[in-house]
Amino acid sequence: MTAIRVATYNIYLGAELSPLVLLEPGKLDEHAQTLRATLRRTHFPSRARAIAKLLVRERIDLVGLQEVTTWTEAGEVFSDALAELTDALEELGAPYDVHAFNRSFGGSAKSGTLDMSLTGGCAILRRRDSAATVVGESVAVFDATMTLPPSPEVEIAVTRGWSRVDLDVDGRPLTLVNTHTEAYDDDIRDAQREQMVAGLGDGPTVVVGDFNALPDDVGMPKEYADAWLAAGNDPAGGLTWGQAPDLSNPENTASLRIDFVFVRDAEVTGCSVVGFDPADRTADGVWPSDHAGVVAEILV
């Protein structure tokens, strides 16, 4: 059997968008400066280097990323998370290849002082020298989608989906699926999970992602082992979300476990949470993300 290290990591949009989603008409200008200031403070190029160091340190073979975002202002790109992260990995001498990038969400906000847009979704990175070789890949979007009220100033598409790679690990098959299910409607979230599970097929499978659900509510079928628990960790531990929107809180404020690695037909030999140690922060004291990464070692 071959040991493979897999991970999930929500790398964060860089700012909290719920004030825009819930925006009252005519109030956009009041949020423009806060949005810009938060994006400057959470400066993704610096966070990309911090995340890259974690991936290299943990020697991750395959990582499912969520909130992989490109931001533009006045039509000019000022942050391309995927390019910045893969460049940071190259600089560390540990190149990763991008697979199954599912560009599933987007939005824009325009007013007298603001003309910004973002696009993004889920992607899978494979360490170039990994024993796991990609033999197929695909992306899909969920049928169930949250609908927002129309606004003349803000347009947001909340489509979500999943990314999939089929792998050969020293002659043995493995499927990795990466997803990010709905945060603001439990019924839609559950419908999305059910649609994803229905398409998984048979054989050794790892499902990773930000499920926006607590362990008792996430609802994966029983044949999928929660790697955190399968590795013998404290059920009350492994918290993965809860840093401040600008990531500047001096102490770790993680409060929820909503990011998971689920494993079917493979042995889990370890699982840990990374990115919430103070030493993982950028030189400016910013956490790598508002989420932690979850790393699992499995035998295939």
Q: What pLDDT, on the 0 to 100 scale, is given for residue 126?
A: 98
Q: What pLDDT, on the 0 to 100 scale, is given for residue 33?
A: 76
CA 49, chain centre distance (Å): 16
Across the range 52-69, mean pLDDT stands at: 98
CA–CA gap between residue 42 and residue 84 (Å, rounded): 14
Instruction: Please report, as a single letter, which amino acid is at residue 51.
Output: I
> How many contiguous H segments (helices) and E segments (strands) does the chain have?
6, 14
Q: What is the pLDDT of residues 212-230, one digit of tens each?
A: 999 999 999 999 999 999 9
Across the range 86-101, mean pLDDT stands at: 98
Q: What percent of the chain has pLDDT over 90?
A: 82
DSSP string, 257-279: --EEEEEESSEEEEEEEES-SGG
CA–CA gap between residue 213 and residue 195 (Å, rounded): 16
Interhelix angle 81-91/44-57, nearest 10 degrees:
50
Q: What is the pLDDT of residues 127-155, one digit of tens each?
A: 999 999 999 999 999 999 987 766 766 77
Across the range 198-205, mean pLDDT stands at: 95
Q: What pLDDT, on the 0 to 100 scale, is given for residue 269?
A: 98
Between 28 and 179, the more confident residue is 179
Q: What pLDDT, on the 0 to 100 scale, is given for residue 36?
A: 85
Q: What pLDDT, on the 0 to 100 scale, is given for residue 20?
A: 62
Q: What pLDDT, on the 0 to 100 scale, is given for residue 34?
A: 81
Q: What is the pLDDT of residues 14-49, one digit of tens each?
A: 998 766 666 566 666 677 778 888 999 999 999 999
Residues 6+ apart with CB under 8 A from 104: 120, 121, 122, 139, 141, 159, 160, 161
Q: Cβ distance 93 to 129 under 8 Å?
A: no
Closest CA to 131 of 168, 165, 180, 88: 168
63 pLDDT band (50/70/90 cuts)?
A: very high
Which structural domain, as residue segments, surrounds residue 206? 3-299
Token readout for 36 is: 């810009």
Q: What pLDDT, on the 0 to 100 scale, is given for residue 19?
A: 63
Across the range 147-168, mean pLDDT stands at: 83
Largest CA distance in the chain: 60
Q: Where are the alpha helices (DSSP H) in the chain?
A: 18-21, 28-41, 44-57, 81-91, 186-198, 227-230
Range from 103-112, 124-133, 148-157 that averages highest in pLDDT: 124-133
pTM: 0.96
Beta bridge partners, 106, equal 119, 157
Across the range 270-282, mean pLDDT stands at: 98
Instruction: Please report, as a single letter, which amino acid is at residue 272.
Output: S
Which has the minimum average pLDDT: 4-13, 83-92, 102-111, 138-147?
102-111
Between 32 and 125, the more confident residue is 125
Across the range 96-114, mean pLDDT stands at: 87
- CATH number reported for the structural domain that contains residue 150 in this entry: 3.60.10.10
CA distances to 6, 96, 114, 277, 294 from 273, rounded to whole Å, are 12, 21, 37, 10, 5
* Counted domains in the chain: 1
